[in-house]
């Protein structure tokens, strides 16, 4: 069976008890900690910057998957890597010189990812795919947690998976927004490797169990391979 990964998004956690949320992820079956950086310009919301990432890094025992929803991300790539980002993803829509930014991320020592908004065609990534460790397919419009999953993004996962197979790259497909037990199997069947889950984990009664349930999808006999 193909293995998949779970990346809880701390955007949905209670920031007055952020240590508890990180401890919970540390001792769970989660594979990464998804960190949403928003600048109030690229997206209509503000979250946090390098200082918070640096603080998270001190307590995190899982890699930090930092999703930059900011304009001119090239200005901050190095600083986020220094702060402790293990994977840095920038938005296609925010980078007129995408190839250059990807090289900057790789040069910094972090793994490189590109995120695409729901309306952005995956084929636009054809010429940079070989350089990417991951692609984030946004399944909501970026900016907020707790939104409804846009089902039109599932065929995009399928198409991207085909492109990855054709080019024979090791790029992972991450899906971000509105992911939960109700749709995770369909997403994984389409070819996704990493499930980002904010509300479905942290707004549930038992976040640790929610993570385990997302990890367990596909492990029964009749599921996808």
User: Which residues are at the interface with ligand DX5 (CB under 6 A)?
Assistant: 9, 11-12, 34, 36, 67, 140, 142-147, 176-179, 196-200
- The pair of structure tokens assigned to 88 is 């840095």
Q: Using CA atoms, how far apart are residues 182 and 201, in angstroms rounded to an integer?
A: 13
DSSP for 148-185 reads: PP-TTHHHHHHHHHHHHHHHT--PEEEEESS-STTTHH
The residue (of 139 and 171) whose beta carbon lies closer to ligand DX5 is: 139
Q: Which is nearer to ligand DX5, 84 or 180 (CB)?
A: 180
Give yes or no: 36 in active site.
Answer: yes
Q: Is position 31 annotated as part of the catalytic site?
A: no
Residue 86 near residue 63 (C-beta atoms within 8 A): yes
In whole angstroms, how close is the CB of 36 to ligand DX5 at the nearest point? 5
Which among 31, 65, 133, 176 is annotated as catalytic?
A: 176
Q: Which of 31, 36, 65, 193 is catalytic?
A: 36
CB of 204 to ligand DX5, least distance (A): 11
Tokens, residue 150: 């846009």
- Which one of ligand DX5, Zn ion, none is in contact with 103 (Cβ closer than 5 to 8 A by kind)? none
Closest by CA position to 196, among listed 165, 157, 225: 157
**What's the min distance (Å) between Cβ of 148 and ligand DX5?**
9
Instruction: Identify what 146 binds: ligand DX5, Zn ion, none; CB under 5 to 8 Å per kind.
Output: ligand DX5
Work out the number of other CB atoms within 10 angstroms of the CB of residue 164. Answer: 22
Active site residues: 36, 176
């Amino acid at each position: 069976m193909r293995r998949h990964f779970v990346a809880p998004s701390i955007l949905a956690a209670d920031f007055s008890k952020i240590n508890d949320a990180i401890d919970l992820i540390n001792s769970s079956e989660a594979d990464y900690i998804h960190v949403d950086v928003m600048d109030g310009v690229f997206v209509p919301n503000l979250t946090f910057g390098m200082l918070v990432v640096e603080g998270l890094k001190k307590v995190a025992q899982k890699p930090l998957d930092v999703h930059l929803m900011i304009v001119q991300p090239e200005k901050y790539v190095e600083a986020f890597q220094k702060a402790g980002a293990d994977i840095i993803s920038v938005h296609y829509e925010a980078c007129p010189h995408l190839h250059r930014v990807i090289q900057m991320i790789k040069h910094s020592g972090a793994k490189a990812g590109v995120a695409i908004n729901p309306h952005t065609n995956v084929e636009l990534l054809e010429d940079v795919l070989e350089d990417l460790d991951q692609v984030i397919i946004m399944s909501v419009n970026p900016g907020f947690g707790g939104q409804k999953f846009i089902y039109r993004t599932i065929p995009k996962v399928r198409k991207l998976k085909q492109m990855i197979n054709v080019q024979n790259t090791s790029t992972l497909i991450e899906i971000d927004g509105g992911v939960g037990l109700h749709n995770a199997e369909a997403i994984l069947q389409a070819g996704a490797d990493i499930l980002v889950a904010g509300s479905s984990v942290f707004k549930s009664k038992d976040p640790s169990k929610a993570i385990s349930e997302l990890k367990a999808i596909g492990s029964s006999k009749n599921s996808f391979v």
